[in-house]
Amino acid sequence: MDDAFLIRQVLGGNRNAFHLLVVRYQRPIFRFLGGMGLEAAAVEELAQEAFLRAFRSLGSYHAGKGTFSAWLFTIARNLALNEIARSRRRAPHVAWQEGVLGGDAGEPDPSAQEALETAERRRRIHRAMGRLPELLRGVLVLAYMKELSIEDIAAVERCSVGTVKSRLFRGKKLLREALVQSED
């Protein structure tokens, strides 16, 4: 069942079809929102809100203007940017959500050591991504999730394909610089 068929069904009043769309896109939307650095509770809340908004305005979606996934990610992206701006106003120095990472190292056996190193590597990446400007971060997350084509990412970001490529390049460059700095 493709998206177009399910959307027609939803517009015709079949709610079960929307359930299938939620099941299909819940994981990518969670990955995107998590990748934007939001806390687990905020991720779930915003993911729910993204799907509710998509349902409410599904009638305004036109397949000719882009894919359903790009349209859905646009809703999620706008919600994420609003939430980031809101949390920054609440706590200007709020730290980037660093994911679920190991606490007590326990006995220094090789597998624990490896897990610690992996956790530390991820923590550094998350921290470095948290320092990127939102526009670069958004493009980077969308590109590395590999859910959307570069044209779809351009549609989500409302910019040209060339701008997406340039943001991707700048984002990776800044990320690398931040990682090199954190190693020093």
Partner 1 sequence: MQPPNFCNAIQERIVAGAPLDEASQAHALECGSCSRIAAEWLALESSIADALDDVPEVPDGFADRVMARLEDEACERRDAARTSGRRWLHIALANLGLAIAVANLLRFILSTLLPTVSLGGAP
Largest CA distance in the chain: 60
Place of tokens 């959500």: 97
Q: Which residue lies nearer to partner 1 by CB, 88 or 121?
A: 121
CB 70 → partner 1: shortest distance, Å?
18
In the complex, the residues that contact partner 1 under the rule CB under 8 A are 15, 18-19, 22-23, 26-27, 30-31, 33-35, 40, 43-44, 47-48, 51-52, 55, 99-100, 121-122, 125-126, 129, 140-141, 144-145, 165, 168-169, 172-173, 175-176, 179
The secondary structure of 23-48 as a DSSP string is: HHHHHHHHHHHHHTT--HHHHHHHHH
CB 33 → partner 1: shortest distance, Å?
8
Burial degree of 164 (CB within 10 A; 0-12, 13-18, 19+): buried
Instruction: Assign 125 to helix, strand or coil.
Output: helix
Are residues 94 and 127 in contact, defined by beta-carbon separation less than 8 angstroms?
Answer: no
CB 146 → partner 1: shortest distance, Å?
8
Token pair for 16: 């079960």
CB 22 → partner 1: shortest distance, Å?
4
DSSP secondary structure letter of residue 60: G
CA dihedral 103, 141, 29, 44 (to 10 degrees): 40
CB 16 → partner 1: shortest distance, Å?
9
Q: Which residue lies nearer to partner 1 by CB, 13 or 92?
A: 13
Q: Which residue lies nearer to partner 1 by CB, 70 or 175?
A: 175
Q: Which residue lies nearer to partner 1 by CB, 51 or 73?
A: 51
Q: Which residue lies nearer to partner 1 by CB, 3 or 92?
A: 3
CB 123 → partner 1: shortest distance, Å?
9
Q: Which residue lies nearer to partner 1 by CB, 33 or 155?
A: 33
| 148 φ, ψ (degrees, to nearest 5) | -120, 150
